[in-house]
Structure 1
Amino acid sequence: MPKFSVVITVYNKAPFVKETIESVLQQSIQDFEVIVVNDGSTDASDAVIKSIASEKIMYLPLAENVGAGAARNIGIKSARGLFIALLDGDDLWAPFYLAEITALINVYPEHYVFATAVHKEYKNHTRPNSYSFENPDNSPFLDLDYFTSSYKNTLLTSSSTVLHRSVCEDVGYFNEKIKSGQDTDLWIRIGLQYRIAFSTKACATYRYAPQSLYKGTRSVKDRPDYLAYLEEEKTNEELKKFIDLNRYSLILRARLWGEKSEVNTYLAHLDMNNLNSKQRFLLSLPTYALRFAFKSQSFLERAGIKLSAF
């Protein structure tokens, strides 16, 4: 039985998936299997995946697109390893990623959730993610609360997180009914029950494409239900702030999509004190100004103005 099961989900990632898989095969630690789930891709992803020769790869091509959450669940349930390492089909690992995770496991043997910092790759540049935890001693490894550490950027991502195989059995798998944001939904459930063993070394690269929210066709109703934790929020200020940041993001989306009822519902549960001045300013903008803001999303984020929770 391998120590790690690397679950890679792919949907129309032909230009990237070979580099992604090779970044796994080139790991300095080789005690792993690779499960590649092709989620009904309509491009050349299938041919690219089949061209990679490795006995470590279990290839699961799906006849139709089932969605990211369902595809990940198929991979996780097919895994034989003690630890499940997630990776999206266009992201990358440094050659020492699994070695760093192994070091985390050795330092925090009582933990079940492990992650590393990430680099975020934009169109013309790459930069390390920033987080909201404090590290005055510059410790390489930290034991962190998910919510307080994720106000700037999420501590967990679908390309830099490793779970003990019992975690999904405990908190549940990816919610397949959610069309977008399934990962955040799972991170919340994990954050309510587990501490995170975290490496401050950026060992994964997340290829970032700004979302064109002003052109979005999905409804806010297709996103995670951020009203599901109202009772927990009453006694968990950290969770409350984290979810308010996500409510802020959904309110902006709902305004652009004309979902007035959803705007009013989320505003009723939003504590403005949990937003910074820039976020409160964006909420005050008229709809036409919001559309312009989203068209300029990359520029605004470089200026420190975030249009989404992360």
Structure 2
Amino acid sequence: MPSYNSAKTIERAVQSVLLQTYQDLELIIIDDYSSDETLRIVEKIKDNRVRLIRLSQNSGVAVARNTGIKAATGRYIAFLDSDDSWHPEKLARQQAFMATNNIGFSFTAYYRNEPNGKRRFVPAPVEMTYKKLLRNTIIGCLTVMVDRTIVGHFTMPNIRTRQDTATWLAILKKGTHAYGLNEGLAFYQVEANTLSGNKVKMMQQTWKMYREQEKLTYVHTLYNFIGYAYQAIKKRISGYV
């Protein structure tokens, strides 16, 4: 769990992990040099499954997540940002799904909690490949679980945005497939003050990821970008619950 000035939300996020029905877990919180009350809030949580690592300078979410991956001792790696939360049975259902089917990389459906109070359901397709993910936005970082005994060692590229998608693409490019569990087991919180600017920035960063991380040609980039844009729009205009 990377955190940066998340005093308003981190307690809810942490509790959603500690209240999992799957109790054999460690929660590694990597604080990216917060200047608010985040550290004080985390330090008040008395649970020996929680480990707090504070970075010596603000380094970005990729560095924070990689620090957590390196420090993790478990077989399975799951991700949750400090402003989101999990369903109480998220880890139990997903781990069972992976173990039963010998899956190395999985993701689930999730809910987008909108600023207007509405909630959107974002479904999980049965399977994602490298080529499919290039044209999609469907894998939410807060829903991913990776079995390191199957996938092996992995890290996130040190880029400011889209590092999660770039990571999934790197894993899938090796021939691994990602399998979806179509149950709403996580809750993504959309903040009102980030809606307008982020759409344009994320589109720009996605294009940049195609060109710089994936080394796609201009034509291939345009082809995948059109698919990405279509899926992003589709995800945001459907699925109210």
Query: TM-score, normalised to structure 2's length?
Result: 0.81
Equivalent in 104, 114, 119 of residue 122 of structure 1: 114
1:104–1:198 contact (8 Å) kept in structure 2: no
Q: Please name the residue that 2:62 is paired with.
A: 69
Q: State yes or no: 1:31 paired with 2:12.
A: no
**How many positions carry a matched residue from both structures?**
229
RMSD over aligned Cα, in angstroms?
3.3
User: What is the SS of the residue equivalent to 2:142?
Assistant: coil
Q: Share of identical aligned residues, percent?
A: 24
Equivalent in 123, 136, 141 of residue 158 of structure 1: 141
Superposed, which structure 2 residues align to 1:283-294 within 5 Å? none
Q: In 1, Cα distance between the equivalents of 2:48 and 2:224?
A: 53
Q: In 1, Cα distance between the equivalents of 2:16 and 2:135?
A: 29
1:29–1:99 contact (8 Å) kept in structure 2: yes
Q: Structure 1: which 5+ runs fail to align?
A: 1-7, 134-141, 234-265, 280-297, 305-310
Q: Please name the residue that 1:271 is paired with.
A: 223
Q: Structure 2: which 5+ runs fail to align?
A: none
Which structure: larger Rg? Answer: 1
Q: State yes or no: 1:179 paired with 2:160.
A: yes
Q: Please name the residue that 2:181 is paired with.
A: 199
| Residue type at the aligned position of 2:155 | Y
Q: In 2, Cα distance between the equivalents of 1:68 and 1:174?
A: 10
Superposed, which structure 2 residues align to 1:35-114 within 5 Å? 35-109=28-102, 111-114=103-106
User: What is the SS of the residue equivalent to 1:29?
Assistant: coil
Q: In 2, Cα distance between the equivalents of 1:25 and 1:102?
A: 16
Q: In 2, Cα distance between the equivalents of 1:225 and 1:273?
A: 8
State the Cα distance separating 1:229 from its structure 2 match: 3.7
Identify if the C-alpha distance between structure 1 residues 273 and 57 changes in structure 2 by more than 3 Å, giving closer, same or farther. Answer: closer
Query: TM-score, normalised to structure 1's length?
Result: 0.64
2:134–2:169 contact (8 Å) kept in structure 1: no
Q: In 2, Cα distance between the equivalents of 1:21 and 1:272?
A: 36
Deviations 1:240-297 (A, max 9, x none): xxxxxxxxxxxxxxxxxxxxxxxxxx57852399559x96xxxxxxxxxxxxxxxxxx
State the Cα distance separating 1:43 from its structure 2 match: 1.5
Deviations 1:62-97 (A, max 9, x none): 221111001000001001101111111111000000
Higher RCO (CA 8 Å, separation ≥ 6 residues) = 2
